Structure 1
Amino acid sequence: MKIHLLHTNDLHSSLENYMRVGHRLRALRANLTASKEVVWTFDIGDLIDRVRPETEASLGRVNAAMMRALSVDAWVFGNNEGLTLPSSVWGELGNLANTRILCANLQQLNGQSFPFFDRALILSQENVTIGVFGLTAAYPLAYQPLGVKAAPPFETAKEVVQELRGKGCSVVICLSHLGLFDDRVLAQRVPGIDVILGGHTHHFMHEPEVVGHTYIFQAGKHGRAFGHVSLEWVSDEKRVGSVSVELVEVNEYEPLDRAMLAAYESWRSEIDTVMGKQVAEIPERLEVRFRGESAFANLLADALLANYDAHLSIMMSGALTASLLPGRADQYHLLGACSTPTRPVLMNLTGQQILSILEVGLQPEIQMKLGKGFGFRGAVIGHLAVAGAVIYTKELQDGQHVIEKVMLAGKEMNLEGVYRVATCEYLYLTHTFPQFQCGTEVTFGAPMVRELLVNYIQQENVWEKANEIRYQIDSTVDEEESQ
């Protein structure tokens, strides 16, 4: 007997591609079912991404409705579902998708399971019992302010595998949104998993990796492909025999799945109503620059500092992907200009660490470096915008800038002093600014930075403040340097 596992991962609200995948996947599944084969369909997380207006307006409900149209048997939440959507909508998403949400290592803060999550799922077919469970990447600090406990995935996996084997499961499958590197570790540390269907790291795998007796496979990102894993069940020996995999690539000419398209279109009116709501009246052009200071980036830093008790805030202008023109600005405009789901992070840093971060941020090669991962949704990192500080820099003969001093609340920053800094999770987690990771007393904020921005620009007197210069540049060159 053959067991077929069809799986998607990391769609990130690429909704058109999702419908193309759906058309191809549905046809394959129908052919296999017609041949009396056993078929299960899974999603491995990050189906949702609030960069997309439809997802933003519906808090993922449109994605869930499309999943329902596709008929998916189980869904493991990725970090985009877990960290960018309030837990109050999680249960509704499962109901809308008409599927089981498998997320064994996300719990309530008291350690109790969420009622809408399943620790595992047991599927029976003919003479074989299959246990399926899900794991997601654990970011304990980020989940805590959301009222969620992220349990260690490897320890959780050991417990669940023992439970499933104890209940008579002959085959154990893990739906893992941990990433390929952690999937390898999982296979090494936790015996008894037959197949790991992965996601999170966006690997396009044409062949499986085999670690011990565990097969690992992942199907890329953004709906450019889906996975098809076939297990040969040896009934007489009650074990998995051969395992074959296929990365089923889907091109842009593939037809859209009609049922999924109908589900999508049923939400259009509500989406336009929500996203068309006016947020603010912009009095003047709000420009964003990636090389040098700009009012829009300053406004973003101001919004961050206004919401937290900190000495200063630091944000990258690359979190903004467009300038705003004068006039009416609605939710569509704000999402288009600031689509990142990055959230606030607060920490204590020394004056020397802050100075090092700002000096790195002045380098042109850093400002034009491509941003990647950790909620980054723009192109380049851009200029480091600050609020609560004035930075005095000096331009050297070669065009480079050095920082002479940093003023905080009218006083020069003490390099040995300790200051509370508000920043975002991208800057905290990226290796481009390693000094952020030296911070102490680190806490995460619950709202996304762009949600703070939307609320902040509705206040009065924010525009003039955004135009205040934070980087004072002395362009004179010392005589000694010019000789």
Structure 2
Amino acid sequence: MQNSLETIHIYHTNDVHSHFDSWPQISRFLRSAREKHEAENEAYYLFDIGDHVDRSHPFTEGTIGKGNIALLNHAGYDAVTIGNNEGITMSKKALTNLYEGADFDVILCNLKETDGSTPKWLEPYHIYETEKGIRIGVIGATAMYSEFYRRLGWQIDEPRQSVRKIVHQIQDETDVIICLSHLGVYEDRLLAEECEQIDIILGAHTHHLFMEGELVNETLLAATGKFAEYVGHITISLDESKCVIGKKAEVIHVNKMERRQEDIKDVNALINAGNEAMEEKVFYNAEPLKQQLLKASSLSSFFGRAMIEYTDADCAMFNAGIFLSSLEKGWVTKRKLHSMLPHPINPCVITLDGSEVLEIYNLAQNADWPKMEIKGLGFRGTLMGKMIFERLYKNNEGELFAGNRQVVSGETYKLATLDMFTFGFFFPSLQQAEKEYYMPELIRDLVSWYGKQKASDKLSMTDHQNES
């Protein structure tokens, strides 16, 4: 067996999604691992593969993601790439400022300014060198949500092509090449087949878990699932000629990490910090608006009107399961809006022919949907709930109307809805339909805007009556 010149230890996380319940254990474990390997003169690197940020958590929302960066700093990360939660649920300004205080590198090769230049806060790749002279080229790539990035003022390039281009550029300058890939397992496998020069692909996005990695040709794929349940550990061995002679992947479950009494206190402190940061009053709600999961409600009517007025659509469609609480009478704070609508979901307006509107309306009557569990798509609730229509209804003769217009084939109508319904899972025809996404507005921002509008209108009316 060949003698190993050096063994390199790579630790990695992915798709944490601001699940901080086990973060104190993970952070302590990672810091201890670094101390151990450095004491033994072994190279150690720590990477996050994106979607560490999730705006559904009050700590993330309250700190505009800066709290996540502080946690990554404390754990000692060397580099991260971004996922779609960093990339398309934050405004361009918020993403540009997100990593200002980072003690680590942000590596991403397929996100550009609209003029094609590289944003100042990231680098397409980085070459690290160990004390024994091993050069490790690290490339980052994220999933290509073209329309979303375009609406936010970014240019997103095809990721596998972008990675291959960088690999060919740096392969003669490196001994090991690692890709931080927030592309999903299917794309990772394709990339491994297309680009054999990559030694390791650390994966994310599709929340897949490889207990001992997966080999595609000579490329080792590794991933840790989701929600900070596991930490990944890769060992790479190289011989005297700096050739890779061994690669091994494992994952460590958080249950095997040291727990301390103060861990729960630390997690609660994060939640409290986020909540305190969101105590700002947004608008005064004059009457209680109750949520209902299985039927229309005063809250759904309020939300439907907010969508129509904000987007100037003819009608609106959404599911009652998006409301995780009611809206009580009194002052509404950012914290209350966030707890009621924590989803990183954008509003969207779809232009449809009358026949398509009728098809969508009929599909939405599916009796199984209200109690269906939903996972992903930006939805942070549990059950779908009843499909709600605002200003889309049938009269006594069974004719469908959008506002005051009868829905007929050959005429077009604008439907305001949630971006998650444009991905094709519930309404296949909406995936290809003409649509306009509203970004960076999340659906709770529409409630905030509409609540302020109503309060302002009421104040103006009172002033007018007083003047009279």
TM over 0.5: yes
3-state DSSP of counterpart to 1:335: helix
Q: Which amino acid aligns with 1:297?
A: S
How far has the Cα of 1:220 moved from its partner?
Answer: 1.3
Sort the Cα spacing of 1:393 and 1:185 in 2 relative to 1 into closer, same or farther, 3 A.
farther
Q: Which amino acid aligns with 1:288?
A: Q
Task: Name the residue aligned to 1:87.
Answer: 92
- Alpha carbons 1:13, 1:63 under 8 Å: kept: yes
3-state DSSP of counterpart to 2:22: helix
- Pair 1:289 & 2:283 matched: no
3-state DSSP of counterpart to 1:307: helix
Sort the Cα spacing of 1:42 and 1:393 in 2 relative to 1 into closer, same or farther, 3 A.
farther
Sort the Cα spacing of 1:185 and 1:444 in 2 relative to 1 into closer, same or farther, 3 A.
farther
- Alpha carbons 2:347, 2:419 under 8 Å: kept: yes
1:141 to 147, 151, 154: 147
- Alpha carbons 2:9, 2:233 under 8 Å: kept: yes
Deviation readout 1:111-137 (Å, 9 max, x if unpaired): 111011111000111132110010011
3-state DSSP of counterpart to 2:101: helix
- 5+ residue gaps, structure 2, are 1-5, 459-468
Structure 2 counterparts to residues 44-193 of structure 1, below 5 A: 44-125=49-130, 126-166=132-172, 168-193=173-198
Query: What is the aligned-residue identity percentage?
Result: 27
- Pair 1:246 & 2:250 matched: yes
How far has the Cα of 1:256 moved from its partner?
Answer: 6.2
Q: Which amino acid aligns with 1:80?
A: N
- Using the alignment, how far apart are the partners of 2:39 and 2:386 within structure 1? 57
- Alpha carbons 1:53, 1:335 under 8 Å: kept: yes
- Using the alignment, how far apart are the partners of 2:193 and 2:373 within structure 1? 34
How far has the Cα of 1:9 moved from its partner?
Answer: 0.9
Task: Name the residue aligned to 2:421.
Answer: 427
- Using the alignment, how far apart are the partners of 1:329 and 1:185 within structure 2? 48
Task: Name the residue aligned to 1:255.
Answer: 259
- 5+ residue gaps, structure 1, are 395-403, 465-483
| 444-453 or 114-123, larger mean C-alpha shift | 444-453
Deviation readout 1:249-295 (Å, 9 max, x if unpaired): 003984369899989959966x4443112223333332222222122
CA-based RMSD of the aligned residues comes to 2.6
- Using the alignment, how far apart are the partners of 1:326 and 1:234 within structure 2? 70
Q: Which amino acid aligns with 1:428?
A: T
Structure 2 counterparts to residues 377-396 of structure 1, below 5 A: 377-392=380-395
| 136-145 or 349-358, larger mean C-alpha shift | 349-358
Sort the Cα spacing of 1:411 and 1:90 in 2 relative to 1 into closer, same or farther, 3 A.
closer
Q: Which amino acid aligns with 1:438?
A: Q
- Alpha carbons 1:132, 1:175 under 8 Å: kept: yes
Sort the Cα spacing of 1:266 and 1:218 in 2 relative to 1 into closer, same or farther, 3 A.
closer
3-state DSSP of counterpart to 1:364: coil
Q: Which amino acid aligns with 2:106?
A: I
Deviation readout 1:215-242 (Å, 9 max, x if unpaired): 1010011111110011111223x32121
Sort the Cα spacing of 1:307 and 1:175 in 2 relative to 1 into closer, same or farther, 3 A.
same
2:450 to 433, 440, 456: 456
How far has the Cα of 1:329 moved from its partner?
Answer: 2.4
How far has the Cα of 1:462 moved from its partner?
Answer: 11
- Using the alignment, how far apart are the partners of 1:305 and 1:252 within structure 2? 51
How far has the Cα of 1:390 moved from its partner?
Answer: 2.8
Q: Which amino acid aligns with 1:317?
A: A
- Using the alignment, how far apart are the partners of 1:283 and 1:264 within structure 2? 32
Task: Name the residue aligned to 2:355.
Answer: 352
Q: Which amino acid aligns with 1:154?
A: R
TM-score computed with the length of structure 1 as normaliser: 0.87
Task: Name the residue aligned to 1:13.
Answer: 18
2:318 to 315, 319, 327: 315
Sort the Cα spacing of 1:292 and 1:266 in 2 relative to 1 into closer, same or farther, 3 A.
closer
- Pair 1:341 & 2:344 matched: yes
Q: Which amino acid aligns with 1:312?
A: C
- Using the alignment, how far apart are the partners of 2:324 and 2:53 within structure 1? 20
